Chains A and B, each alone.
Chain A
Amino acid sequence: MTDRPLTKNIDLSRGALSLKDYEAAGGYAGARAIAGGLEPSDVLERVKDSGLKGRGGAGFPTGLKWSFVPKSDDATIQRYLVVNADEMEPGTFKDRMLMEGDPHLLIEGMIIAAYTIQASRAFIFLRGEYFDAERSIAKAIAEARDSGYLGRDIFGTGFDFDIVLHTSAGRYICGEETALLNALEGKRANPRAKPPFPQVSGLWGKPTIVNNVETLCNLPGILAYGVEWYQSLGSGGDFGTKLFGVSGRVNTPGCWELPFGVSIREVIEGHGGGMQKGYTLKAFLPGGGSTDFLTPEHLDTPLTYGAIGDLGSRLATGTMILLDDKTCPVGMIGNLMKFFAHESCGFCTPCRDGLPWVDTIFRDLESGKGSFKDIDILKDHVGYLGPGRTFCALAPGATAPLGSGLRLFADEFAAHVSGAKCPYH
């Protein structure tokens, strides 16, 4: 038993555990539990019962997602498991740690997921820039294959399973699961229309489950230690642990595995060591670049999907980006808008044309050429680019810091116009 099922083996100063050491530390017990006689439906029930929610950002219940794969005893129907390891959300640095630090945990999680949905083949869609993770995972896959943990009849279950490690070439939209599937098929990574959902018709038209790295890393613990243990780890309606991170002007920025329900204050002031001398916390994005700003008055909120959602933001990736009093909020939001404009896939008009317009206005505000009319145009775009107006969630994600920032920092926006320059410069 452990209270850090995701990171108990991780010590980045010594590199990842080999298969032998991972096993000596209790690893592959989840996979052996399957070998002990668990049917796919048994695993599905356990994962459903655990309350595990997807850690990629949306927080969708994992067991429910899996249950949408059409039931069939026909083993000739190809099904796929795809790991979304395309970590590119601004300010997010959690999956990197898991992949570099304990790749066998991911592989074991993949075995459990693939067995449950009866997918004989999996693809890890890894960010192209993550060379260290690529080396770490490739080594672990080779070890697992050599030991017969991947390949034919794994763990004596009669189930065949193997993994392909695919490295991408840098494009944020590939984190959107249907865009990711197009990329894996060798196409431009534009998102697909839903329905059909990937669970029914995904990779090459076959039933496909796309799960985030951290989500899959939760599975070995659930099978090895049980649902009761898993639920005892969290509080506030969310179960298990989560990687929470802090970047910005704190004393000890980092990423830590903590139980759901820990307060924001404990993460920022406790683990993050509080603000650096001379800096005061002004606001923060709680879960990466696509979330609404929160402010210091929210510091005692517990970190759960529900509690952060009640504040009008999202827990999302759980990696917080801190805005201090010496940094221009308009500049920070402008930086994010530049990112979103650059990474728009260009498929739908509001996103392709709207985000560059927003980006241009921020550049004008920064250089003192902005007008009050420009600020109104930004406010209009919060609606034009919002949920339901675009093909996928990229542009609505951009409106989260934009809309909340326009409300919270109205004075700073106005000062850029009235002073014809950035007041922070």
Chain B
Amino acid sequence: MQQHIIASSSTNSRLRARDLTAEEIAEIEHELTLYPTKQAVGLEALKIVQRHQGWVSDESMLAIADYLSVPVSELEGVATFFNLIYRRPVGDKVILFCDSVSCWIMGCDKVKKRLSEHLGIDYGETSAGGEYTLIPVPCLGDCDKAPVMMVGEEMHRYLSSETIDSLLPLRNVGGSK
């Protein structure tokens, strides 16, 4: 199998694919049974690796491209197209904060401000202890319960500055600014 090698612009070092884990390979192999082409599994493979590694590093990108025999440039094109594939490290939990129209009407800007104060981070940043990464997300489709956000896989609804204060898992994180 041809091994992809890319030059990293930041370090100028030549990167090599990491070894995919047995679990990652097993899950990718399962996906391969569901689709008629290897290319079709690209996004699923990226999500599988991200689930195990937390994010998709260059080394993971190369490994997936090799495994699926797709050009790494094409796989990168897919990875960067989707909002929820992380090409940089993220915190233990990603907070997807809905800033779309219904949540905006219901005051999500104020909620976001309070959340940012609590966590000591703005959009695109990770809290100092590595617990949370805050990312804005297009409409989460829960508009009758606005404002809303997702922490990991869990929805939080009817948010206000006060409810942010009472969301215990988030509390005190801001102290480690």
Q: Which of B112-147 contact A (CB under 8 A)?
A: 137-146
The answer to whether B143 and A247 have CB atoms under 8 Å apart is yes
Taking the nearest CB of chain B, how far is it from the CB of A296, in angstroms?
17
- Cβ of B106 within 8 Å of any chain A Cβ, yes or no, is yes
| Given known contacts A170-B82, A186-B37, A249-B105, A342 and B143 CB-to-CB distance under 8 angstroms | no
The answer to whether A171 and B105 have CB atoms under 8 Å apart is no
- Cβ of B57 within 8 Å of any chain A Cβ, yes or no, is no
- Point out the residues of chain B lying under 8 angstroms from A246, CB to CB: 144
The answer to whether B39 and A186 have CB atoms under 8 Å apart is yes
Taking the nearest CB of chain B, how far is it from the CB of A32, in angstroms?
28
Closest to B143 in A: A247
| Given known contacts A87-B141, A255-B144, A319-B143, A171 and B43 CB-to-CB distance under 8 angstroms | no
Q: Which of B95-118 contact A (CB under 8 A)?
A: 96, 99-102, 104-106
The answer to whether A170 and B138 have CB atoms under 8 Å apart is yes
Closest to B80 in A: A188
Count contacts between A and B, CB distance < 8 Å: 132
The answer to whether A187 and B106 have CB atoms under 8 Å apart is no
- Cβ of A230 within 8 Å of any chain B Cβ, yes or no, is no
- Cβ of B40 within 8 Å of any chain A Cβ, yes or no, is yes
| Given known contacts A92-B143, A204-B36, A339-B139, A248 and B105 CB-to-CB distance under 8 angstroms | yes
Closest to B142 in A: A93
Q: Which of A187, A289, A324 contacts B78 (CB 8 A)?
A: A187
Q: Which of A164, A170, A322 contacts B83 (CB 8 A)?
A: A170
The answer to whether B82 and A91 have CB atoms under 8 Å apart is no
Chain B interface, number of residues (Cβ within 8 angstroms): 42
Q: Which of B35, B70, B138 contacts A172 (CB 8 A)?
A: B138
Interface string of A186-208 (1 = CB under 8 A from B): 11110000000000000010000
- Point out the residues of chain A lying under 8 angstroms from B34, CB to CB: 164
- Point out the residues of chain A lying under 8 angstroms from B104, CB to CB: 331-332, 335
CA distance A226 to B169 in the complex (A): 52
Closest to B47 in A: A169
- Cβ of B54 within 8 Å of any chain A Cβ, yes or no, is no
- Cβ of A167 within 8 Å of any chain B Cβ, yes or no, is yes
Interface string of B56-90 (1 = CB under 8 A from A): 00000000000000100010011001111100000
- Point out the residues of chain B lying under 8 angstroms from A95, CB to CB: 141
Closest to A92 in B: B141
The answer to whether A248 and B78 have CB atoms under 8 Å apart is no
Q: Which of B35, B96, B139, B146 contacts A89 (CB 8 A)?
A: B139
- Cβ of A183 within 8 Å of any chain B Cβ, yes or no, is yes
- Point out the residues of chain A lying under 8 angstroms from B82, CB to CB: 128, 168-171
Closest to A326 in B: B105
The answer to whether B100 and A96 have CB atoms under 8 Å apart is no
The answer to whether A91 and B83 have CB atoms under 8 Å apart is no
The answer to whether A90 and B41 have CB atoms under 8 Å apart is no
- Cβ of B150 within 8 Å of any chain A Cβ, yes or no, is yes
- Point out the residues of chain A lying under 8 angstroms from B44, CB to CB: 166
CA distance A89 to B138 in the complex (A): 9
Interface string of B20-51 (1 = CB under 8 A from A): 00000000000000111101111110110000
| Given known contacts A204-B36, A254-B144, A92 and B139 CB-to-CB distance under 8 angstroms | yes
CA distance A331 to B106 in the complex (A): 13
- Cβ of A55 within 8 Å of any chain B Cβ, yes or no, is no
- Cβ of A323 within 8 Å of any chain B Cβ, yes or no, is yes
- Cβ of B162 within 8 Å of any chain A Cβ, yes or no, is no
The answer to whether A323 and B105 have CB atoms under 8 Å apart is yes
A-B contact pairs, 26 of them (CB 8 A): A87-B141, A88-B141, A91-B100, A92-B143, A93-B141, A96-B142, A128-B47, A129-B96, A168-B43, A170-B137, A184-B40, A186-B70, A188-B78, A204-B37, A245-B144, A246-B144, A248-B106, A249-B106, A253-B143, A321-B102, A321-B143, A332-B105, A335-B99, A335-B101, A335-B104, A339-B139
- Kindly list 9 other residue pairs between chains A and B, CB separation below 8 angstroms, not including A183-B43, A185-B40, A321-B101: A90-B100, A90-B101, A188-B78, A289-B100, A321-B143, A324-B105, A335-B104, A339-B101, A342-B138
